[in-house]
Amino acid sequence: MTYPLAIASVAITLTITPLSSYARSAVEEPPADTAQDTIQSSAVKTTPFAANTSYVVCFTPGQDCEGLIVQEINHAQKSILLQAYVFTSTTIAKALTQAKQRGVDVRAILDKSQRTGKYTGATFLRHAGIPLMIDEHPAIAHSKVLVFDQQSVLTGSFNFTKSAQERNAENLIIIKGDSGLVRAYTENWNRRWKASVSY
C-alpha cells in the first residue's frame, strides 16, 4: 500500500508492506529432529482466577521482598519447587536449607550460569542435600519461581540475590489458593526438571 505523506511542505511517499508478506521468508522452521522446545499455540489461553484466590505483591526499592520470600519458605510444610536464573542470596539459601532439615521436600532448577558463577548458591544447596538440576538447553533459564506446598506460586522479576533487594527495581507476586495456576506452574517446573541435567 502506498500513502502520500506531507511533512514540512515536502511530499513523501510512504510504502507499507504487510508483515505477512515477509512471514514465509523471514521465519525458518526448525528441523524436525531439533532438540529445542516447540511452541504450542493452544497452550496460551486466558483463565479466570479461582474463587477465594488471594495475592501479595512486593516491590523494591522500598519493601522487604527477600524477607517475604524467607517468610513463605519458613511457612512451607511439605514441598518447595524453585526455578532461578541467578541464585546468590545467602539468606534465601539458608532458609531453604532449614526447610530441608525440617523435612520439606525442596528441589531446585538453576540456569547454566550458576554452574560456574563466582557467588552462586548452587554448591551451597547441593551440599545441603537439596536435589539440584541445571536447565542448560535454553539460552537463558530466566524463570524466577517458587511453588509452595502445591498451594501457592511466587514469581516476578526478583532474582534470588542481594542486589535484587538492595540495589534493583524489582517486583514479585505471590498467588495463593488457585489450584489451576499452581498446577500450570508445577507442570512447567516438571518439564524443565526432566529437560535439565544434574549439577
- Secondary structure of residue 69 in the 3-state scheme: helix
DSSP state of 165: H
* Confidence (pLDDT) at 100: 98
Cis check: omega of the bond before 18, within 30 degrees of 0: no
User: Region 167-173: what's the mean pLDDT?
Assistant: 97
Q: How confident is the model at residue 42 (pLDDT cuts 50, 70, 90)?
A: low
Number of helical (H) and strand (E) elements in the chain, helices listed first: 6, 10
Query: Quick one: three-class SS letters along 37-68?
Result: CCCCHHHCCCCCCCCCCEEEEEEECCCCHHHH
Residue bearing cell 500500500 = 1
Q: Of 152, 67, 155, 84, whose CA–CA distance to 124 is shortest?
A: 84
Q: What percent of the chain has pLDDT over 70?
A: 77
Q: For cell 540456569, name the residue.
A: 111
Is residue 73 left, alpha or beta, with left meaning phi > 0 and alpha meaning psi from -120 to 50?
A: alpha
d(CA 118, CA 10): 58
| pLDDT higher at 66 or 18 | 66
Q: Which residues are catalytic?
A: 142, 144, 149
Query: 3-class DSSP state for residue 147?
Result: strand
Phi, psi of 180 (to 5 degrees): -65, -40
pTM: 0.76
| Residues near 173 by beta carbon (within 8 Å), at least 6 away in sequence | 55, 56, 57, 58, 154, 155, 156
What's residue 123's pLDDT? 87
In this predicted structure, what is the pLDDT of residue 30? 42
Q: What is the CA radius of gyration of the chain?
A: 22
- Average pLDDT on 28-38 reads 45
Summarize the confidence of residues 64-74 as an average pLDDT: 98
- Ordered domains of the chain (ranges, CATH): 52-198 (3.30.870.10)
